Amino acid sequence: MKKIFLLFVVLGFFSFIEATNLHKKNNSDTISLVSVSIAPQAFFVEKIAGDTLKVNVILPSNANEHHFEFKPSIMKKLEKSDIYFTIGLEFEKVFLNKFHHNFPKLEIVNMQKNISLLDFKDSHHRNQKDPHTWLDPILVQTMAVNIYNTLIKKYPKNKDLYKKNLDQFLAELDSLNLQISSKLEKLKQREFVVYHPSWAYFSKRYHLTQIPVEILGKEPKIKDLQKLITLVKEKNIKIIFVQNGFPEKAAKTLARECDAKIFEINHLSKDWENELLRISDALKAK
Ligand SMILES: [Zn+2]
């Protein structure tokens, strides 16, 4: 009887220990938090960090990355973050200019360090650089190195893991680049129509030309739309790419007038790799 009682005491003790450990594991306060502006950046950070960090994405899905404002709830998440990785978007500049001084402990890291940015093609965006570097796998390699360099400084105890993850991710990006190249290699029609011109770096990498529907971040005026209809008919382009969170009226009119198909893409998807493959396949199939 005494022995059985003792066994229960011992078992009880062990389950108590286990419960405490479990509690520690589930307590998210023990895992450091870092913030990023858009979901593809979260995909990149998680590739390097594994599950050693939690990543907070500032831009909600289905939002337009160029028309977004900081809300108090976002500020709270930033306050809890060790690092904020920026990617050259307008709303980040507002944060850096106005609110940054309220977060003395928050380390700001430009994820686009060592990347030479392209100018926006249309002449109205004077002195503005094109931020959409995250859609080119080779530029993402530079960003991955930037993430790695930042994380090993902040969390040196994870250096070996981060190095292993970095090497693996760089290899994956090489293979993704080769896959996309071979899909697009023999494409005859190298011009494509897309609502929001976020594909300049992708186009440059794979020798394509994007023709935007949007003008200066807005729906085109009737006159501009008519010009575009003529151009698309002339070039016999049969697919119009549109993005979540952006207006579709002009794109739909264009598709109808030119007997083209609408194809929805998401340049802000966290399922980043598949999204690049999906647009490559769509370009190939058109
Ligand atoms: Zn954009």
**Of 94-103, 182-191, 220-229, where does mean pLDDT reach its minimum?**
94-103
The structural architecture, per CATH, of the domain 186-285 is 3-Layer(aba) Sandwich (3.40)
| Span(s) in the chain for CATH 3.40.50.1980 | 29-181, 186-285
Q: What is the mean pLDDT of residues 111-136?
A: 85
State the distance from the centre of ligand 1 to the C-alpha of 206, rounded, in angstroms: 19
Q: Per-residue confidence at 98, pLDDT binned at 50, 70, 90?
A: confident
How do residues 31-41 score in pLDDT, each as one tens digit? 999 999 999 99
CA of 208 to the centre of ligand 1 (A): 18
- Tell me the CA–centroid distance for residue 219 and ligand 1, in Å: 14
User: What's the gap in Å between 136 CA and the centre of ligand 1?
Assistant: 14
Architecture of the domain delimited by 29-181: 3-Layer(aba) Sandwich (3.40)
C-alpha 170 to ligand 1 mean position (Å): 25
Q: Which two tokens stand for residue 49?
A: 């960090």
Cα-to-centroid distance, 217 and ligand 1 (Å): 9
CA of 267 to the centre of ligand 1 (A): 8
Average pLDDT value for residue range 240-246: 92
C-alpha 92 – ligand 1 centre gap (Å): 13
CA of 43 to the centre of ligand 1 (A): 18
Residue 16 has pLDDT above 60, yes or no: no
Residue 99 confidence class, pLDDT cut points 50, 70, 90? confident
Torsion angles phi and psi, residue 84, rounded to 5 = -125, 115
Contact of 92 with 98, CB cutoff 8 Å: no
Query: What integer is the mean pLDDT of 2-10?
Result: 57
Query: 23 C-alpha vs ligand 1 centroid, how far in Å?
Result: 41
| 168 Cα to the center of ligand 1, angstroms | 28
Range from 2-16, 145-159, 248-262 carrying the lowest mean pLDDT: 2-16
Whole-number Å distance, alpha carbon 178 to ligand 1 midpoint, is 25
